[in-house]
Amino acid sequence: MAKKVRIKKAGSKEYWYADKIGEVFEVAQSPVFCEKYEVIEGWRKPCKLLDKDDVSTIREIDGVLYEEVERMAGIGEIIINPDDGIPTKVTAVSGNSVYVERYLTVDEDGIEVVSVVGVRHGYYRVLEPIDVTPTDELLEIIANLTRRVHELERENKRLRDDVTETLGTITDLLRRRDRRIDEINDKAEMLIDDVVLLDERTEGLR
């Protein structure tokens, strides 16, 4: 059965998820390793495995993501009993249990309806909402990156314009050079013709 988990740590820096702390993945129980989950990504082979000790379960309630945390709950917090999977709110806390808003479930045999008003410590998980709202610091980082991208785009445009202008100048200089070479060649041919003509005229005087 598929479920969502959140990476809370990596047992080794060599694990593929060592740089993905805090990210959420959809997983299923590994059929080979009881202590591992398989990440569901189209069931590619080889499968990506997650150590169960390195993740926490994620539940979605009314569009809000919650992370299951093993600790003592406080009044007003939402808890869940993994045995029945029903979330409920804590109304009071005693030394050995929490009292919750009453709900109905069934016994282990799935026959008798049971009214639950409390759960002993150690038999529930606290559901902590995952804050997906960007922090002011993150928003500032995004804004700075956006400004930097715009600056780089302007700089890139300026460089392109400079290169285009430089290429235009070089092209113009090359054209001027070619025209000057043509002029020099024309004058050289005229001088050669004059020398030949002069040589012919002076041939009889020699």
At which residue do the structure tokens 């993501």 appear? 65
Q: Reply yes or no on whether the pLDDT at 195 is more than 60.
A: yes
Q: How far apart are CA 26 and CA 1, in angstroms?
A: 10
Report pLDDT digits (tens) over 90-134: 999 999 999 999 998 887 766 778 788 999 999 999 999 887 565
Tell me how far the alpha carbon of residue 13 is from its chain's centroid. 20
Q: Which residue has the higher pLDDT, 198 or 72?
A: 72
Burial class (CB in 10 A: 0-12, 13-18, 19+), 67: buried
Q: For the chain, give the mean pLDDT.
A: 84
Q: What is the residue whose two structure tokens read 């090359």?
A: 174
Residue 204 has pLDDT above 70, yes or no: no
Nearest to 50 by CA among 77, 65, 67, 29: 29
Q: What's the pLDDT tens digit per position in 46-90? A: 578 899 999 988 888 888 889 998 899 999 999 998 888 899 999
Alpha carbon distance 49, 132 (integer Å): 25
Confidence of residue 199 (pLDDT cuts 50, 70, 90): low
Identify whether 129 is preceded by a cis peptide bond (ω within 30 of 0).
Answer: no
Poorest-pLDDT segment among 55-64, 73-82, 162-171, 196-205: 196-205
- Which amino acid, residue 109? D
Overall average pLDDT of the 37-45 stretch: 71
Residue in 47, 55, 64, 70 with CA at minimum distance from that of residue 4 = 55
160-168 long-range contacts (CB < 8 A, ≥24 apart) are none
Q: What is the pLDDT of residue 143?
A: 76
Task: Look at 8-12, 117-121, 124-128, 141-145 and tell me which has the smallest mean pLDDT.
Answer: 141-145
Q: Regarding predicted confidence, which is higher, 134 or 37? A: 37
Which of 60-64, 132-136, 154-158, 169-173 comes out lowest in average pLDDT?
A: 132-136
pLDDT band at 154 (very low <50, low <70, confident <90, very high): confident
* First-residue to last-residue Cα distance in the chain: 117
Cα distances (Å, whole numbers) of residue 174 to 161, 180, 182, 183: 20, 10, 12, 14
Q: How confident is the model at residue 1 (pLDDT cuts 50, 70, 90)?
A: low
Higher pLDDT pick, 171 / 202: 171
